[in-house]
Structure 1
């Protein structure tokens, strides 16, 4: 009873909505497996290629209109991919045929379209599961189960990479290297980076005898997952240190002093140690899959934040439970969870899945547009990677042009990391100087040129004054030039 009262004291259902923060991750998972979110059309002709692309841009347009800033785009599913890979075949969902070339590179297209809209694109990669026997057979000779049998194991009618084999981390890093080196991704997001649930008979006894070195089986398995995380994190940072590395662990780390996990947690059930990863500094963000209500959400969200070592905790919200076929949640549950996340200064939230945003299930999309995400938000900075902002842009000019539009031009900023050109944030207000601490003054973000055309939605709402700042890919923002 004491715990229940404690949670109510934190979360009385009618809490007022917190003031919108200037920095907040607002993410959505775009699920490609089985075409759950995208695509619906198979790309087999010029017309259907165009239609498949339009389905994705329609999603991105709607996310942009709701001031989302992060897209978790499914890039690898079960041993197959949605980009041009020398290692694994194209997913059949693109063309209806395993390995079928869709006539374009979906990941490159997604990144380009996200960046046009000022949103980040993170490559969401399923790691350890490889699918059932039918799926593995459909991949033919390009399946990793055929090409690298030594790192693959069957278990309960499915195949998995074996985290206990030293070559597994190298294989996964080869895939990650293709993505990070070949594409302008903002992040790589790892899913199912864990053992199967409750797997006492997972077939790794040989590897345990060979590599266990006196550890218990549980600790050895946990160390295996942590070593994969460590290896990939260091590998990504050696290529492009600004690329965010994140995972979506099981939503409860382990029992907390506030509330038990009731036998379902990351640490014991699937051998993940995400708090250890953050403590060691080999993880930039976690998106714990917190698809729970009440006491199964709030104490565990607090636990993640308290043990985050300053890294970004972005709870994944189970908005799919708003659909009557999935659960019996009401939307006020999600409202309370977002309020809680903001009140406890977590980095933001992710929405699983984008379909339920597109369909406005129980009015969730409208609520975000009108209330929680009424104004834009910038990405939270990552000072553990880089804390030096770019120089300020200079020589801002503001020129009225035809049809009520205004053209802004400025001189470029420079950054301490010469590999990255700064991007720009545009602010507008009727007050001078423009207050760049107010998110309602943000007009555009992620601008990659040194000019911008300001077009007010309504002519009588046009703003008189403007400010431009530079921002780097670590989220560090410069001083403003004002006009």
Structure 2
């Protein structure tokens, strides 16, 4: 029966390959930008003004290519193993920036990434590795700046590595202090937590003392799951008190547990690493999850359906293992990724994440070209977080279009009446050759996340010039206003 179910699922995917699923107007298109070991960025050390600029240019090149492919979300690695890529009062700068632990690179990489993402209409989420602290060599290199030296009570050694101890109640407070730095000081759109779990298959993890002290009659397994859930809950509530619109997400192990359709074969989030992710979704202490679904066939489709069915209305964005397209990593062919994108859209999950951005930049097996030519041919807006706020902003008014010179037009409008300066709306520009402009069609989106009340329209190719325009307001939770439309032709 399980084989029959999987066969039916596969036939659905193959059938959808014959007819491209329409591109949704709202969809997360995310890429992980990995800084640890310089896997994706940076390649250059910031040791002089010229090399600082070169390091910045390397990130700009990545962001430009993501924008050109209509990605809308960048998961920018902000904390790795007890070190960070922003100016912190708690942990030192990662040595990947300059070649030296704790050395200021001469600019703030997180602030720079946020600014450059926003310029391109993309969200920037601070991707933070949480529980692991690195091996002995790494911890030794951090010296007195390591949390293992500053806060030894919340750190434990295990299998030649160090970890924060999820069983110590002070661990969640320490992690929240890092999150607070990021959320209060930076205009991030989200905080994204990685390795928020116990090490895999860790029956001898050194937490017996804490279990005796805090277990309160629970089994060890349930106590450990409760510890991770309490960290998730504490951070989620803390972020929402600071800035309700900042998205809180994790990238859990890709299979939650066995499903009625297929077995996880003993490797899953619930039992192996003590992540009760569907419990988090049910409690509403996640806005998004990016399950690491780096599997093919029956390792992907039944479990993707399970995430969707148990989402409680929260956003599920499967992480796709595009690194397996590299022959040195695996033996995938690009049609596997295409089938997974079709499946995500057919079953109305909320988008997909691509791990890692290097394989997009390298156009591995022509994946980047395939995305731009077949799947991401038009922009996409972010799905709204209606559980935080479902009220759209008031619409802009009085849209005017003024011709400046050949090939350039100035759009201007009056803002709505929204007063919340912290959650001030940005604007989406639409254009088409028909009136009124159909704002339900993603191919009519010209630009998004426009701040201020002016926009210069300058199409690269003269034959792509559009005749009519419309503008909507978009709040930080993704709610879109009604339309301010121009009522006459101005570009021809």
> d(CA) in 1 for partners of 2:236 and 2:364?
36
Please report the RMSD computed on the Cα atoms of aligned residues, expressed in angstroms: 0.8
Are 1:250 and 2:246 an aligned pair?
no
Matched, 1:109 2:106: no
Which of 20, 27, 31 is equivalent to 2:30?
Answer: 27
Aligned pairs for 1:303-452 within 5 A: 303-415=306-418, 417-452=420-455
- Distance in 2 between the 1:99 and 1:32 partners? 15
Give the drift of 1:413.
2.2
Query: Whole-Å Cα distance in 1 between the matches of residues 439 and 37 of structure 2?
Result: 43
Residue 386 of structure 1 aligns to a residue in which SS? coil
Aligned to 2:57: 54
1:298, 1:441 → 2: CA distance? 32
Does the alignment pair 1:183 with 2:191? no
Q: 1:477 to 1:416 in 2, by over 3 A?
A: farther
- C-alpha deviations, 1:220-279, integer Å up to 9, x for none? 000000000000000000000000000000000000000000011000000001110010
TM-score for the superposition, normalised by structure 2 = 0.97
Q: TM-score, normalised by structure 1?
A: 0.99
Q: Retained in 2: the 8 A contact 1:251–1:288?
A: yes
How many residue pairs are counted as aligned between the two chains? 483
Matched residue, 1:463:
466
**Residue 37 of structure 1: how far off its partner (Å):** 0.1
Question: Residue 159 of structure 2 aligns with which residue?
Answer: 156
Alignment equivalent of 2:303, drawn from 300, 315, 318: 300
For residues 22-80 of structure 1, what are the alpha-carbon distances to aligned partners after superposition, in whole Å with 9 as ceiling and x for unaligned? 00000000000000000000001000000000000000000000000000000000000
Structure 1 pair 300–404 and aligned structure 2 pair: CA distance change class (3 A): same
Indicate the residue corresponding to 1:269 in structure 2. Answer: 272
User: Is the 2:6–2:302 Cα contact (8 Å) retained in structure 1?
Assistant: no
Work out the CA distance in 2 between the residues paired with 1:45 and 1:290: 40
Aligned equivalent of 2:284, options 264, 278, 281 = 281
Conserved in 2, the CA contact under 8 Å of 1:415 and 1:472? no
The answer to whether 1:213 aligns with 2:225 is no
Partner of 2:123: 120
Bigger mean CA offset, 455-464 vs 162-171: 455-464
Q: Could you report, residue by residue, the CA deviation over 1:355-377 in whole angstroms, capped at 9, with x for unpaired residues?
A: 00000000000001101000000
Report how far residue 416 of structure 1 moved. 6.5
Secondary structure of the structure 2 residue equivalent to 1:370: helix
Superposition deviation, residue 16 in structure 1: 2.2
2:4 match: 2
Please say if residues 78 and 110 of structure 2, whose CA atoms lie closer than 8 Å, have aligned partners that are also in contact: yes
Deviation at 1:454, TM superposition (A): 0.6
Regions of 4+ moved over 6 Å: none
Deviation of the 1:458 alpha carbon: 1.1
Report deviation, 1:294.
0.3
Give the Cα–Cα distance (whole angstroms) in 1 for the partners of residues 372 and 126 of structure 2: 25
Deviation string, structure 1 residues 390-438 (Cα, Å, up to 9, x no partner):
1000111101111211110001124364422110000000100000000
Q: Does 1:63 align with 2:69?
A: no
Is this contact kept in 2: 1:428–1:463, CA < 8 A? yes
> Deviation digits for residues 95-139 of structure 1, max 9, x if unmatched?
000101100000000000000001000000000000000000000
Aligned-partner Cα distance in 2 for 1:335–1:252:
20
CA contact (8 A) 1:388 1:416 kept: no
1:146 corresponds to which residue? 149
> Any conservation in 2 of the 1:390–1:416 contact (CA below 8 Å)?
no
Equivalent pair of 1:413/1:422 in contact (CA under 8 Å): no
Displacement of 1:316 in angstroms is: 0.2
Q: Matched residues in 2 for 1:143 and 1:66: separation?
A: 39
C-alpha deviation, 1:12, in angstroms: 1.9
Using the alignment, how far apart are the partners of 1:413 and 1:35 within structure 2?
A: 44
Shift in alpha-carbon separation, 1:281–1:79, aligned structure 2, 3 A = same
Distance in 1 between residues matched to 2:209 and 2:67, nearest whole Å: 50
Matches within 5 A, 1:59-98: 59-98=62-101
Moved more, 168-177 or 402-411: 402-411
